[in-house]
Structure 1
């Protein structure tokens, strides 16, 4: 019997990670990674996990999904899975149950990150503890979520920023948007360029080469001219979009970039002009210096955020 343990899970478009947590502390030796391919749904993976670890009775269960969540029901954006509290409770037997958007979970993790977990891209100016923050996810998809501190606790509203319009600030961006519109239902969304598969599309658009993201990054590390051109356009779009989001949400407490694609492209962001693209807001360019940006390097942050969120819930 382990009534002090909770189950937490982070469901991406490709893989699902499941772990046990005691309070807000994820038990790292309990983390398991499952491929989503071929699984009929989350319940199947959770049953496999519970059969393997046999943790006994659980105090709570919280999952973070890459997709919109409304009233405890989530629909994966890049996977045909529906996740809800009822199904989560049936598998785990827990009373405290929550389904979060993955960026919401990342937002709840921020207070639990050490400075060693962060790689600073732009310095963070001094800001009060209650200053808003913004978590930006760059992985299989793209999304962002603001993080607000209030008298009632931390509030992280859901968002679907990946499906807003791709910017057309430069001829190169406009040409890419035109290409994506022609092949994506007449609409060029941010996520179609800013994501792992988006990076592949940018490279194909510029050079006509069908390479996967790993190969493009490998060539980039070798100084390949075509890969560098693809990374430069990708970086320009990323800086532009994050600058737009900063002006919308005013996260004076900082912007936090998370996700596998974010970590993969990080070494090239500074030399390829990310800061310049982020600050390129005309007469508001100087205003942009008030926003620090860091890359979150803790791969378990979403699991920690789920555990932290459970700690502030009452049983339903």
Structure 2
């Protein structure tokens, strides 16, 4: 997708989106990215975040005053633990090593939360229109990992996006298939969590579970499962239907915690890959099947974010608001 570029003379800042597989890094001024500054790095080629920052800055003569990094992992103050990478990082160390006055760490979903209010409609795909009202939102990320973050407006015009580790909550259980899946996951993972099924690797686990239930051997990677769904493979489509149902139920459960009447925003590579299947595989019925709370969740819009640079824009917005 095309990034929104800066046209201001605001101070230069460094922004980054560190995912489980790739890191995007760019310069920004104000709320916009500096044109042609975005670079992508494969995380497997680096020993840690500090090495990527040093590589990026070595390619530019101008140095940023501040930085904000969106990280796929647990953020606690100046410390980050990127669980899917096995990396640890400290914001003060990165600032000192690179001559940056201040480095901010945000959970990747926090950065997305700071971005969503400013996303143009052209960067969103409507999953269900709902009846939007207010300004409270919820971002749900589906990729290498899974997480969610609420987005709360304040009376002063700022945005508060609390950190969360929502991907590690227990998987919803509705019916014997889900209980059997939970037992299967607990035997292999020690817990049946949302991330264990809804992440990219989770889809692969879900397929293996369905294959074993059908008395078949072998598994497939996520891309092969999605390709098999396209060909009409019964096993792959059964897996896909189960995935979409669990996603709908999880999204509705998370919505009841914060009541995001302005909308739920799905982000990440797995979310985009499943977008064509959500309607066919019953996302609407799963999302709105909340018993006496069904009329409430029916009011909540759901959209898919199709902007690859949203987390970078969110980092820029975070710094610009401070």
TM-score, normalisation: structure 1 = 0.94
- Map of 2:289 onto structure 1: 280
CA displacement 1:127-182 (0-9 Å, x = unmatched): 13xx3100000000100000000124110000000111111112111111110000
Unaligned runs of 5+ in 2: 1-8, 212-216
Quick check: 2:10–2:29 contact (8 Å CA) kept in 1?
no
206, 218, 230: which one pairs with 1:209? 218
- Map of 1:64 onto structure 2: 70
CA displacement 1:197-233 (0-9 Å, x = unmatched): 0001101110143211111111112222111111000
Q: Secondary structure at the match of 1:229?
A: helix
- Map of 1:135 onto structure 2: 139
Quick check: 1:46–1:91 contact (8 Å CA) kept in 2?
no
Alpha-carbon distance change, 21 to 124 in structure 1, aligned in 2, over 3 angstroms: farther
**C-alpha root-mean-square deviation of aligned residues, in Å?**
1.4
Per-residue deviation, 1:46 = 1.2
TM-score, normalisation: structure 2 = 0.92
Matching of residues 101-180 of structure 1 within 5 Å: 101-128=107-134, 131-152=135-156, 153-180=158-185
Structure 2: how far apart are the matches of 1:29 and 1:159? Answer: 32
2:254 is the counterpart of 1:250: no
Structure 1: how far apart are the matches of 2:194 and 2:35? Answer: 34
CA displacement 1:262-286 (0-9 Å, x = unmatched): 0001100111000110111112212
Q: Secondary structure at the match of 2:308?
A: coil
CA displacement 1:235-254 (0-9 Å, x = unmatched): 01100100100111110110
Quick check: 1:59–1:94 contact (8 Å CA) kept in 2?
yes
Structure 1 stretches of 4+ moved >3 Å: none
Quick check: 1:83–1:99 contact (8 Å CA) kept in 2?
no
- Map of 1:24 onto structure 2: 31
Count of equivalent residues:
308
Quick check: 1:167–1:174 contact (8 Å CA) kept in 2?
no
Quick check: 1:72–1:100 contact (8 Å CA) kept in 2?
no
Quick check: 1:133–1:148 contact (8 Å CA) kept in 2?
yes
Q: Secondary structure at the match of 1:290?
A: coil
Q: Secondary structure at the match of 2:198?
A: coil
Structure 1: how far apart are the matches of 2:286 and 2:93? Answer: 44
Unaligned runs of 5+ in 1: none
